[in-house]
Amino acid sequence: MSGTADGRGSAGAGGPVLEMRAITKTFPGVTALSDVNLTVRPGEIHAICGENGAGKSTLMKVLSGVHPHGSYDGEVRFEGEPVALKDIRAAERRGIVIIHQELALVPYLSIAENLFLGNERTTARGLIDWDATLREAARLLRRVGMRDRPQTPVADLGVGKQQLVEIAKALAKEVRLLILDEPTAALNDEDSAQLLDLILELRGQGIACIVISHKLGEIRRIADVVTVLRDGRTIETLTVRDSPAAEPRLSEDRIIRGMVGRDLDHRFPDRTPFEGHRDVALEVRGWTVRHPVDHQRKVVDDVSLTVRHGEIVGIAGLMGAGRTELAMSVFGRSYGIYVSGSVAVDGREAVTRTVPRAVAAGIAYVTEDRKHYGLNLIDSINRNVSLASLPGMRPPGPGGRGFVDEHHERAVAERYRATMNIKAPTVFEQVGRLSGGNQQKVVLSKWIHADPKVLILDEPTRGIDVGAKYEIYTVVDQLAARGKAVLLISSELPELLGMCDRIYTMAEGRLTGEVPRGEATQEVLMRHMTKDRG
């Protein structure tokens, strides 16, 4: 089914600023886009939704010149004219600027130097005009609501401000169409709200924005129109609101139905009630860790918790509560300076002072940052799946030590590609080419194959669409049904409420509450999460 918007655009009269017609893009063995159409009007916030692998990022790479003209079929028209963009610079010269999910700033350069990198303000002699650079940088920073000095190194900024610097950098290029790919994926609630307000301000200035996001609540807040992609095709284009000031009339459930092709009446699998008499699989006692730089500050302070076999236990907390610090320090003391505490697995004290020892003790950790810590992005699916269990990949016989049985490795990866529904042409596909949801499935496959007793999941569905989320929830539920102990860290309270048997809450490095499933609500959890440690 295909649909179009009703012709309403926030700019009122006038033609579209962008038309993409019958765009088709293929890679070896994969058709990423097939006859995709997209129309954006001036001053419109146009959201693009779809499951991971639907073709959203590929479409934007076509538009921004990452995939140059000639590498795809179809036509791109900008401001009424056909354009043949050969690279990113050509797109930027036309006023089309993309901000990727992974920010492209140089941390050791100043804000001003980043703003004009490749777009320098120079004197008549070709030298950098530092007075003009700093003056223009200050003006751009004010425009995006930042009060930082232009000379500030980008490394000294938080992720939220770095995202604002990226937008200021786009404004320096006289942007007319701004593309934002998952702009709030790594931001806390406060930074996300500030960024969304800025996007609304840009709309008021007549700048068209295309926003790719899995956060449907944010889309309903800011978008005028939504185009839904599924399996590389345009499914429909829907009106979110009748005017920029109007309330959204498009529900999240309606967007989801377009994305997955069906209603998701239940966003979480039905959990079999946990049998509370099962043995304790993981026990953490008196765990205390100091900050790696500020040695006086405790990031984890006297935390004690338990997880039983077959139980899914959540940890809720605001940004900076110490959830990830707790998980990483328990898993091989990967973060901070250990002060005190012990870990027991199946009732026996476990030595977890290094990652290999933590793995040997039966603990696995799925990091919140899969791209940096969970995967080798330049290697294949089969190599990534085997990384946590290489000793089991040895060829048989005494001469196999130090070698990998590639046939066995491939067979294991093929099994997980099928059972985890990893969308890739072969297990030799480079992991960096996969969508976020499929990358997360590879991380889970790696640790599931290691057969741990305890699985710590840190933001396991961050940046993943609702369809892939349900698949991962189902895998986690199946692991618990097999007797695995699961510790689930999430910033999404509905996720914790939908998946967990018990939920611990943290604030400022300490546990502030323990709530059973039957008593857990968002209000109860938030009350515990905001407790003064007193």
Residue 328, in any domain of the structure: yes
Specify the number of domains making up the chain.
4
Contact 224, 10 (CB under 8 A): yes
pLDDT of residue 175: 92
pLDDT of residue 14: 65
Lowest mean pLDDT among 322-336, 393-407, 426-440: 393-407
Whether residue 101 sits in one domain with residue 65? no
Domain membership of residue 368 (yes or no) is no
Q: Which one of 405, 433, 451 terminates a domain?
A: 451
Top-confidence residue, 274 or 525: 525
Check residue 2 and give its pLDDT. 38
Residues 477-494 have a mean pLDDT of: 92
For 300, the enclosing helix (H) or strand (E) is: strand 298-308
Average pLDDT of the chain to the nearest whole number:
88
Q: Provide the CB-side half-sphere exposure for 46 (13 A, CA).
A: 30
Distance (Å, whole) CA 29 – CA 51? 20
Same domain? For 250 and 223 the reply is yes
% of the chain beyond a pLDDT of 70: 94
Q: List, as one string, the DSSP characters of 83-138.
A: ----SHHHHHHTTEEEE-SS----TTSBHHHHHTTTS--B-TTS-B-HHHHHHHHH
Residues 458, 442: one domain? no
The per-residue pLDDT for 263 is 57
pLDDT for 114 equals 95
Window from 230-234, 261-265, 301-305, 428-432 with minimum mean pLDDT: 261-265
Alpha-carbon distance 65 to 96, whole Å?
9
Which string of b and e fits 78-114 if b means at least 16 CB within 10 Å?
A: beeeebebeebebbbebbbbbbbbebebeeeebbbbb
pLDDT at 341: 96
User: In this structure, is residue 469 part of a structural domain?
Assistant: yes
Task: With respect to residue 274, please indicate whether it lies within any of the assigned structural domains.
Answer: yes
CATH number, domain with residue 244 = 3.40.50.300
- This prediction has a pTM of 0.65
Same domain (yes/no): 289, 357: yes
Asked if residue 473 has pLDDT above 50, the reply is yes
Tell me what the mean pLDDT of segment 145-173 comes to: 91
Model pLDDT, residue 9? 37
Q: Name 181's bridge partners.
A: 212
Of 321, 343, 317, the residue nearest 332 (C-alpha)? 343
- 254 and 328 inside one domain: no
Q: What is the pLDDT of residue 530?
A: 80
Amino acid at 97: V
CA distance 437 to 421: 10
Inter-residue contact 253 to 19 (CB < 8 Å): no
Point out the least confidently predicted range of 67-81, 456-470, 495-509: 456-470
241, 265, 289 — which closes off a domain? 265
Percent of the chain with pLDDT over 90: 60
- Which tens digits make up the pLDDT trace of 263-281? 555 678 887 767 767 899 9
**Domain stops at, among 399, 423, 451:** 451
More confident residue, 49 or 391: 49
Q: Do 254 and 115 share a structural domain?
A: no
Same domain for 461 and 407: no
**153 in the same domain as 113:** yes
78-89 pLDDT, tens digit per residue, is 999 999 999 999
pLDDT for 264 equals 54
Say if residue 212 is in the same domain as residue 354. no
- 303-307, long-range: CB < 8 A, 24+ apart: 303/341, 303/506, 303/509, 303/510, 303/511, 304/511, 305/504, 305/511, 306/280, 306/282, 307/280, 307/281, 307/282, 307/454, 307/485, 307/486, 307/487
Cα 94 from Cα 287, distance rounded (Å): 56
Give the pLDDT confidence score for residue 12 in this predicted structure: 40
Q: In the predicted model, is pLDDT for residue 193 greater than 60?
A: yes
Q: Is the dihedral of CA 181, 256, 216, 530 positive or negative?
A: negative
192 falls within a domain: no
The rounded distance, in Å, linking the Cα atoms of 13 and 456 is 54
Domain that holds residue 139: 96-175
| Angle between helices 130-143 and 159-172 in degrees, nearest 10 | 120
Cα(15)–Cα(77) distance, integer angstroms: 11
Residue 244 shares a structural domain with residue 328: no
Res 234 pLDDT > 50? yes
Strand duo 73-78 + 96-99: pairing: unpaired
Whether 338 and 487 map to the same domain: the answer is yes
Looking at the structure, do residues 436 and 516 belong to the same domain, yes or no? no
Question: Cβ contacts of residue 187 below 8 Å, gap of 6+?
Answer: 159, 160, 163, 195
Residue 3: pLDDT over 50:
no
Q: Is pLDDT above 80 for 448?
A: yes
Average pLDDT score over residue span 197-201: 93
366-386 residue pLDDT tens: 988 888 888 989 999 999 999
Residue 15 DSSP SS3: coil
